[in-house]
Structure 1
Amino acid sequence: MARTPPHLITIILLTAFSPLSLNMFLPSLGHIAEDLQTDYALVSVAIAGYLATTAVIQLIAGPLADRFGRRPVLLVALVIFCISSFVCAMAENIWVFLFFRMLQGSITAGYTLSMAIVRDTHPPQQAAGLIGYISMCMAIAPMLGPVFGGLLDTAFGWRSNFYLYATCGVLILALCWVDLGETRPERQESDQPMTRAILALIQDPRFCAYAVCSTFTVGAFYIFLAGAPLVATTSFGVTTAELGFLIGSITVGFSAGGFLAGKFSSRISLPAMMLIGRLTACTGLSIGLLVFLVGGSSPFAFFAGTIFVGIGNGITMPGSNTGAMSVRPDLAGSAAGLVGALALAGGAALTSLAGIAVGTGDQPVTVLALMLASSAVGLAAAFAALLLERSAGTGPQASH
């Protein structure tokens, strides 16, 4: 099969638009509830339900892309997103809005399959480097999305966010139609049903090591999102304006880590890169935790420690995601979808745990300890991946 990889800008747009679809409209939640004459709790299902839906979509999109190809699955997903965005913009009923908001989750196929496309068209270590640079760029989207969405809501109302979603979706669809050729490699085996493909992956210890590392690496970030705002306001008394900058610091760290991963991935193995990232995160958190345990208490000590989580995650994730997709290159789409779904499920569980734990005891210590525990599990999984690759006699970097 001829490989016609898309240009880098296409991959970046596909990956960056997924977090924008989650958070750009967040400042409008109150106005949506008021306009559709419902309560805020029901409107917030547009977030929690969306996350659950995207986990399912990733599980489905990956195997479908392995079976039918990256291009058709992506194009269908984008069409669904465009239609759903337009209906959300026109909705006069909360149930219509929520139903099509869930269908908007189809855009996450753009992120999942972009990772598979990068793996299809590059050897593992080159793929990890490229994913690192892509991650560096896409980290900007979650920082700017709510700001831009809030400005749109103020100027034109909440529906303008969804009209913009639909417009951007059409533009990205047109770009993919022109630029995105099929990259799925020739299958060496007969096409497998989705359940058999997933079983083949989870029965491989190497895939499990990479997937666990990714899940708990992302989990530390979700714990931060759940606990850091409360810690900053109640323990340190920072203003809401300052809070935005402090929370954004971990994303800046992630961009820096992605840059480092892109720069040095060609020189070190994927498991080694994962270990470096996990050690970076654990070291920063350990120092921050120690400061609080000996009696120190300052927002600088807290957020300086969590910045290292962002840096470590940016270094780790390209290696763990690429490693998971490289265990079975013929199932790269399934692997990308399964890792993404596990990260969302793990993130939801750890967010709930953090929300409960932060309500009791010393809040900064609790958040840092939970983040350290999650990062430590990721470190153990990275070490397991290194041992498994060595025992297999070849790392994932050897296969294309």
Structure 2
Amino acid sequence: METHPSSRFLHRTTQPSMFTLMLLASISALAMNSFLPSLENMAQHFNTSSAIMGLSVGIYLGSSAIFQLFAGPLSDNIGRRPVLLWALAIFVLSSIGIIYAPNTATFMLLRAFQASSACAMVLARAVVRDTTTTEKSSSKIAYISLGMAVAPMLGPAVGGYLGGHFGWEANFWMIVFLGLVTWFIIYFDHGETSPKHDKGFLQQFKVYPEILTSWRFWGYCLASAFAAGIFFAFLGGGTFVGSVIYNLNPQQLGIFFALPAFGFLIGTLFAGKYSTKFGIDSMISLGLLILFFALTASLVCSYFNYDSAVTFVAFMSLVGLGNGICMPNASAGMLAVRPHLAGTASGLGSSMMIAFGALLSTFAGAILSSESTEMPLLFIMWFLSICALCIMLSVRKRNSLFGTNL
């Protein structure tokens, strides 16, 4: 790890400030779900169904996976700063285009380009690994993940208000404004942190086997993917559960999505404070156990007809708590496997996680119909928690055998 000058806000020769990294972490999450409370109004505007408009979440996630796949190696090659500036420029222009989209197909296409914002979170984590030791990286990643928690928490609530009073377009004008603010802050605050490489861009992809043949990378990556998949399944099916099963209006839906994000916020604060003390592996295991017990309890309540909007969102808030503890540590674990390839590892790991999330989001929305209860969605999420726990147990056992505990 190279030594970098201490951060000085709005100084282009130093590493970016914590505020800037948190902003980068939040912009993609905000664009992903802030418009969801206005989904019905958007469906009416584009003369289509809510189910079709809901596919825009899966398209956004799938496109995010592609952008991240290239952003990591590209940033290792030409630097974090130029990749971020170009990605955010594409994000702002496509967000403006969405407001004036003439039809559903154009809207979906522009949503795909809007997903360029996903590069921001990937490169924020890479910057942390460029400038921080393994022992401290999980704590710092947890703190910048606060942006990921605050954005989904405030986004639907603010989006529901803006959509209810000014129309669905107001959500995207808000995103345009925040995208422009983020671009200017990056331009003036982000000094380059990437280690210098003499490899060409295409040569960077040749290092993928070095990462893909590492069991530890796969372990942390899959544990992260299954845990994140729980959130994405909720994202894909939560709108249906809230609006159809529990008859919530757009403003109530905003709160419905905000409370699990608040749980994620608490989880990231806990991870930021205690990850260095207890270690990456222990914190991931704790987060996954919380996920498993919360989903088991929710499934039992639903099975015996004790469910309501209150109980559902309460257990989803615990799911958010578990994810807030697990996700930053799993990300730090992935980056620690090959520190000299932090951008590539971050991009590849996030790409796999988001691609899996896109599939789950689409699948969760597809299995729910007007005759459904919340049970199919809960069962999927519960099964994913078991998968994540089994993988993490395997990682811990292997790390113990080879003396590579984190």
Q: Structure 2 unaligned segments of length 5 or more: list them.
A: 5-13
Which secondary structure state, in structure 1, belongs to the residue aligned with residue 306 of structure 2? coil
Which secondary structure state, in structure 1, belongs to the residue aligned with residue 220 of structure 2? helix
Q: Which residue of structure 1 aligns with residue 212 of structure 2?
A: 202
More deviation, 354-363/301-310? 354-363
- For the 8 Å contact 2:129–2:335, the answer to whether it is kept is yes
Q: Which residue of structure 1 aligns with residue 306 of structure 2?
A: 297
Distance 1:290 1:168, change over 3 A: closer
What is the rounded CA distance, in whole Å, between the counterparts of 2:178 and 2:254 in structure 1? 26
Q: Which residue of structure 2 aligns with residue 219 of structure 1?
A: 229
Is the counterpart of residue 173 in structure 1 residue 183 in structure 2?
yes
What is the rounded CA distance, in whole Å, between the counterparts of 2:243 and 2:109 in structure 1? 35
Distance 1:190 1:44, change over 3 A: closer
- For the 8 Å contact 1:66–1:330, the answer to whether it is kept is no
Q: Which residue of structure 2 aligns with residue 128 of structure 1?
A: 138
User: What are the within-5 Å matches in structure 2 for residues 353-392 of structure 1?
Assistant: 353-355=363-365, 357-358=367-368, 363-392=373-402
Residue 335 of structure 2 aligns with an amino acid whose one-letter code is M
Superposition deviation, residue 135 in structure 1: 2.2
Distance 1:151 1:219, change over 3 A: same
- For the 8 Å contact 2:153–2:262, the answer to whether it is kept is no
Residue 21 of structure 1 aligns with an amino acid whose one-letter code is A
Pick from 83, 87, 97: which aligns with 2:93? 83
More deviation, 160-169/116-125? 160-169
User: What are the within-5 Å matches in structure 2 for residues 67-78 of structure 1?
Assistant: 67-78=77-88
Is the counterpart of residue 52 in structure 1 residue 62 in structure 2?
yes
Distance 1:331 1:277, change over 3 A: same
- For the 8 Å contact 1:65–1:333, the answer to whether it is kept is yes
Pick from 280, 289, 295: which aligns with 1:279? 289
Residue 271 of structure 1 aligns with an amino acid whose one-letter code is D
What is the rounded CA distance, in whole Å, between the counterparts of 1:354 and 1:70 in structure 2? 35
Q: Which residue of structure 2 aligns with residue 183 of structure 1?
A: 193
Q: Which residue of structure 2 aligns with residue 337 of structure 1?
A: 347
Distance 1:373 1:96, change over 3 A: closer
Superposition deviation, residue 355 in structure 1: 4.1
Superposition deviation, residue 218 in structure 1: 0.8
Q: Which residue of structure 2 aligns with residue 113 of structure 1?
A: 123
More deviation, 243-252/199-208? 243-252
Which secondary structure state, in structure 2, belongs to the residue aligned with residue 184 of structure 1? coil
Distance 1:271 1:145, change over 3 A: same
Superposition deviation, residue 11 in structure 1: 0.7
- For the 8 Å contact 1:63–1:197, the answer to whether it is kept is no
Deviations 1:300-321 (A, max 9, x none): 5544433322111111101101
Aligned pairs, number = 393
Which secondary structure state, in structure 2, belongs to the residue aligned with residue 248 of structure 1? helix
Q: TM-score, normalised by structure 1?
A: 0.85
Q: Which residue of structure 1 aligns with residue 267 of structure 2?
A: 257
Q: Structure 1 unaligned segments of length 5 or more: list them.
A: none
Distance 1:306 1:47, change over 3 A: closer
Residue 93 of structure 2 aligns with an amino acid whose one-letter code is I
What is the rounded CA distance, in whole Å, between the counterparts of 1:335 and 1:221 in structure 2? 22
Pick from 195, 199, 203: which aligns with 1:193? 203
Deviations 1:274-326 (A, max 9, x none): 11111121122233434555x35132554443332211111110110110111
Deviations 1:161-217 (A, max 9, x none): 444433332322221111111111355988773532333222110000000001000
Residue 234 of structure 2 aligns with an amino acid whose one-letter code is F
Residue 17 of structure 1 aligns with an amino acid whose one-letter code is I
Q: Which residue of structure 2 aligns with residue 14 of structure 1?
A: 24
Residue 165 of structure 1 aligns with an amino acid whose one-letter code is I
Superposition deviation, residue 364 in structure 1: 4.4
Q: Which residue of structure 1 aligns with residue 255 of structure 2?
A: 245
Deviations 1:308-348 (A, max 9, x none): 22111111101101101110112111221222222222223
What is the rounded CA distance, in whole Å, between the counterparts of 2:27 and 2:295 in structure 1? 30
Is the counterpart of residue 66 in structure 1 residue 79 in structure 2?
no
What is the rounded CA distance, in whole Å, between the counterparts of 1:82 and 1:303 in structure 2? 32
Q: Which residue of structure 1 aligns with residue 8 of structure 2?
A: none
- For the 8 Å contact 1:62–1:336, the answer to whether it is kept is yes
- For the 8 Å contact 1:153–1:161, the answer to whether it is kept is yes
Identical counterparts, % of pairs: 34
